[in-house]
Amino acid sequence: MAGWTTLVQADVLSMALERRDVVIIDCRFSLLDPHLGEQEWLRSHIAGAVHAHLDRDLSEMGVAGLGRHPWPSNKYFLERLRRWDVKPTSQVIAYDHGDGSIAARLWFMLRTMGHEKVAVLDGGWTRWTSLGLPVSTTVPSPGASFFGGSFDESRLLDANAVAAHLAAGGLLIDARSPVRFRGDEEPLDRVAGHVPCAINRPFALNMEDGRFKSPVRLAAEYRELLQGHDPSDVVMMCGSGVTACHNLLAMERAGLKGAKLYAGSWSGWISDPSRPVVTGS
């Protein structure tokens, strides 16, 4: 299908701002201040961009046992897509402050709902403004488009499915930083460590100089990490199912398609104290 399906470069997007099929979604967010991203969007954003809040729009908060950012129901997410004026034919562009860690969550949500034409702005808001590309203070009027569909549940695993996946020899990759993976420190969750048998691939390794590495480099790094596993035999996780999507985007960018997400991730795993936890490398 024609369109941008993984990344789009800032200079390329700047020439497509007038296209009627382009829907731009600002995903800026800070765990330290959940209001910051939306406030920054109100002050200045890429022209026409609507805002997606990680807690309110890309998660369905309050669902017990599913981690700090519970994956939303079909109905919940579809309401957001319609409000953002996303149509089945839309070319969606998601961006955040820069590294794509939040925008990738929206990318994977749309992809698992069967929408192919969605991409992350490489370098995000930082790259866009550094190039002096146009910004706006005008807040778009809400839309009301039709968008139908449902999540492909085969790509979304819960804790029991992850345990079965590991028991069958599947690969589980954790996108958190090494210090959190080892359990040296844990600033966000009540228990430190990682799921037994998981391996570590921090999402930051997908980046170089504020942008994604080339597809060739990503392919070489992930093939070494997978050690013969088919991409469809890979499950990604992180702290709450957000930055894991960055690794999923990197794999897709590298031509390695079909990996899955443990949506609850570490914060979901530790919601049941009977589940095993390990620390160290």
pLDDT at 2: 65
| CB proximity list for 46: less than 8 A, separation 6 or greater | 13, 17, 24, 26, 95, 125, 128, 133, 134, 135, 136
pLDDT at 1: 42
pLDDT at 142: 75
Q: With 0.85 as the threshold, say if the pTM is over it.
A: yes
Question: What does the pLDDT look like over 99-141, one tens digit per residue?
Answer: 999 999 999 999 999 999 999 999 999 999 999 999 999 999 8
pLDDT at 143: 78
Q: Which of 136, 166, 183 is the last residue of a domain?
A: 136
Active-site residue identified among 27, 197, 238, 245: 238
Question: What does the pLDDT look like over 156-188, one tens digit per residue?
Answer: 999 999 999 999 999 999 999 999 999 999 999
Q: Beta strand pairing status for 45-46 and 135-136?
A: antiparallel
Sheet with 199-200, strands from edge to edge, namely 156-157, 260-262, 234-237, 171-174, 199-200
pLDDT at 145: 80
Q: Same structural domain for residues 12 and 125?
A: yes
* Residue 169: CB atoms within 10 Å: 9
Q: Same structural domain for residues 124 and 92?
A: yes
Structural domain span for residue 202: 153-269
Mean pLDDT, the chain, integer: 96
Residue 1 inside a domain? The answer is: no
pLDDT at 45: 98
Residue 2 inside a domain? The answer is: no
Low-confidence ranges of the chain (pLDDT < 50): 1
Element (H, E) at 174: strand 171-174
Q: How far is CA 237 from the centre of its chain?
A: 11
> Any catalytic annotation for residue 238?
yes
Question: Which tokens is 253 given?
Answer: 């960018």
Query: What HEC string does 73-104 produce?
Result: CHHHHHHHHHHCCCCCCCEEEEECCCCCCCHH
